[in-house]
Structure 1
Amino acid sequence: MIKKYVSERRSWIILFLALQALFLLIAYLDASIHFQSILYIVFLSFIIFILFLMIRYQKEATFYKGLEALDDDFDLTSLRDARTPFEKITETQLTEQAKYYKESLSDLLINVEQEKDDLLGWIHEVKTPLTTMQLMMDRLEDERLKTQLNNEWLRIHLLLDQQLHQRRIPFIKNDLYIEVTALEPLLYKEIKDLKSWCMQKGIGFDISLQRSEVLTDAKWLAFMIRQLLTNAVKYSEQSDILISSYLEEGQVKLAIKDAGRGIDPRDLSRIFDKGFTSTTSHHDNAATGMGLYLTQKVAVSLAIEINVQSTLGEGTTFTLTFPKKNAFVQLTSM
């Protein structure tokens, strides 16, 4: 702060030095002026000027240190030491601006919250006719038409589900309920929901669970598995998806392995980025680039680590590593 203050007052210091040099020059050129007396006056002036700078620094630095310490929450209590007219002008303007931005931010948050509630309400409303459509499709006798309609119905259902959870993720901390969760019924439910799609593409499942239970939030884990299974089915044909769980270094791991088209090595570091689809399949208009992004967001909240291994043309393996029990103690105490 001292360096900044001296730099700010540089023009004053230069003016003072120039005046002192002028006095000495005049005394040197004018024989009627006693040079030693002027030199003594200049020396005293230097002492007084330095003391003046020190005093002013103590008074002004408090205000500027307050400016530096301003937080992102627009708390201006640290600016109560404004003394000079310019400092008071600065404080007044900042206070008015902070008040304006707080009011604007409050209005914006209210609007966002209202839009979120409206969208969630709309999604729930849309689910009602979807359920009715499902019952109507079950009565169809044309199996080919029934399968096609089921597949399109499933796409809409998955997109709505993705939107629903996307809106809830910012508030996931308030929605977590950590408990011992059985993997087998959770996996079978998600596979059953994808049954018609899997039958159309000739995809089966091979499940091997050495560890049948994990400590997590069942609802959000189901959402994560739904996204991973959807991706595995989407990019696979006439093959089996292998699902296994095991214990490694004291942590339960759940692996989902498909034999699909795989992921390009240059894409691996970006697959969890929002909106990223693929650099090799731009023709895939069905991809939204949100599934893995949302999965990663949920994983962070559940303290689950996601690892991915993939070989282009041979398949992809996603491995979920669940935290130890003490990690959840830290998670729930935040």
Structure 2
Amino acid sequence: MIWKFFQEYKIWYSMYALMSALYFLSFYLYHLPLGYFVVSLLFNLTLLLIVTIWLFIQFRKKLLLIQNFFFVQDLDDLSLPSELAYQQLIEQLLAAESEKGLVEKSRMESLQTMVKMWSHQMKVPLSALSLMAQTDQLDRQEVRQQLLRLENYLDTLLTYLKFSGNKDDFRFEVCSVRELVVDLVKKYRVSCLAKELSVEVSGDWQLKSDKKWLSFAISQILDNAIKYSKRGGHIQVQLDEDGIQIADTGMGILPEDLPRLFEEGFTGYNGHEHKKATGLGLYMTKQVLDKLDLAIRVHSQVEEGTQVFIYKEKS
């Protein structure tokens, strides 16, 4: 601590030594009696020692206070302008840290809620598979459908975790959106066959984007179209240079639910009524499309169907 003290006040002691040397030089050049200089130096050194002791006590008290304080109020004894500025800086840092902690706590609580919700959703297909296994009534098509639901739930949850952790791995390249859609239709063919749905894909859209993330966004729209379509319905995917339109002849969306479709955790009437929604699919779709510089628009009428448009906004 003594070394720290002299480090803080070294400029003053250096100035005192320099002034003493200048006084000695003056006495020497003018041939003045050096005895007077020695007496004066001893007197000044005595005064300097007293001041040093007082300054060291104050320095030690301040240093211990700064090192061991728990609350900002403990620093109220600091009174120098520089010390007050330091105290104000600590208050700002603590406030920022507290706000950051609240945001992180809120994020963790939201994440825990979503994981619990997801766990509940995943129990449905798991229970169906378990029941089929216990009764030895394993229908191949039904098993594939339940496994596809599990895969979709898991993919969406992993995507949510990646976005909530601010991690992304976008790689932009020119791709055929038609090829992505065709691959997704093949992926969902079991679900389409189970509900006797017909799917029509027309046109193409050459777009510079990330294949993986764009495929994820489209898969969420297509999954919803299949999920909420009536048996024997029809899904049409139309692509052109302006974008992609996915239209179904399902149950539609209530007008009051449309403005909130992309809110985190919002399921709407259909989700509550049919217990098929987690409220993350469309939310994540919007987040991904925003990262890809794409826009999404939804038109829907109850009992007539829904049209979802994904397009690149013109600058």
Match of 1:218 in 2: 211
Moved more, 173-182 or 286-295: 173-182
- Cα distance change, pair 89–279 in 1 and its aligned pair in 2 (3 A): farther
Is contact 2:298–2:309 with CA below 8 Å preserved after alignment? Answer: yes
Would you say how many aligned residue pairs link Structure 1 and Structure 2?
Answer: 214
Unaligned runs of 5+ in 2: 1-77, 112-135
1:230 to 208, 223, 232: 223
How far did residue 260 of structure 1 move?
A: 0.4
Question: Which has the higher Rg, Structure 1 or Structure 2?
Answer: 2
Is contact 1:276–1:289 with CA below 8 Å preserved after alignment? Answer: yes
- Cα distance change, pair 187–172 in 1 and its aligned pair in 2 (3 A): farther
Is contact 1:205–1:242 with CA below 8 Å preserved after alignment? Answer: yes
> What's the TM-score once normalised by structure 2's chain length?
0.59
Match of 2:275 in 1: 285
Letter of the aligned partner of 1:219 in structure 2?
K
1:291-302 correspondence runs (5 A)? 291-302=281-292
- Corresponding residue SS for 1:206: strand
How far did residue 169 of structure 1 move?
A: 2.4
How far did residue 281 of structure 1 move?
A: 5.4
1:318 to 264, 287, 308: 308
Q: Distance in 2 between matches of 1:321 and 1:173?
A: 24
- Corresponding residue SS for 1:198: helix
Q: Distance in 1 between matches of 2:147 and 2:197?
A: 19
Letter of the aligned partner of 1:184 in structure 2?
R
Q: CA RMSD in A?
A: 3.7
Task: Please list the CA deviations of residues 191-211 of structure 1 after superposition, one character each: whole Å capped at 9, or x if unmatched.
Answer: 1111111111111211111x3
Match of 1:180 in 2: 174
Is contact 1:307–1:318 with CA below 8 Å preserved after alignment? Answer: yes
Task: Please list the CA deviations of residues 261-295 of structure 1 after superposition, one character each: whole Å capped at 9, or x if unmatched.
Answer: 00001111011111111136523222101111111
Unaligned runs of 5+ in 1: 1-83, 117-141, 328-334
- Corresponding residue SS for 1:231: helix
Is contact 2:178–2:239 with CA below 8 Å preserved after alignment? Answer: no
- Cα distance change, pair 309–160 in 1 and its aligned pair in 2 (3 A): same
Q: Distance in 2 between matches of 1:311 and 1:96?
A: 56
How far did residue 87 of structure 1 move?
A: 6.1
Match of 1:271 in 2: 261
How far did residue 173 of structure 1 move?
A: 7.5
How far did residue 145 of structure 1 move?
A: 1.6
- Cα distance change, pair 280–196 in 1 and its aligned pair in 2 (3 A): closer
% identity of equivalent residues: 30
Q: Distance in 2 between matches of 1:188 and 1:143?
A: 31
How far did residue 86 of structure 1 move?
A: 8.2
1:205 to 196, 199, 215: 199
Is contact 1:214–1:322 with CA below 8 Å preserved after alignment? Answer: no
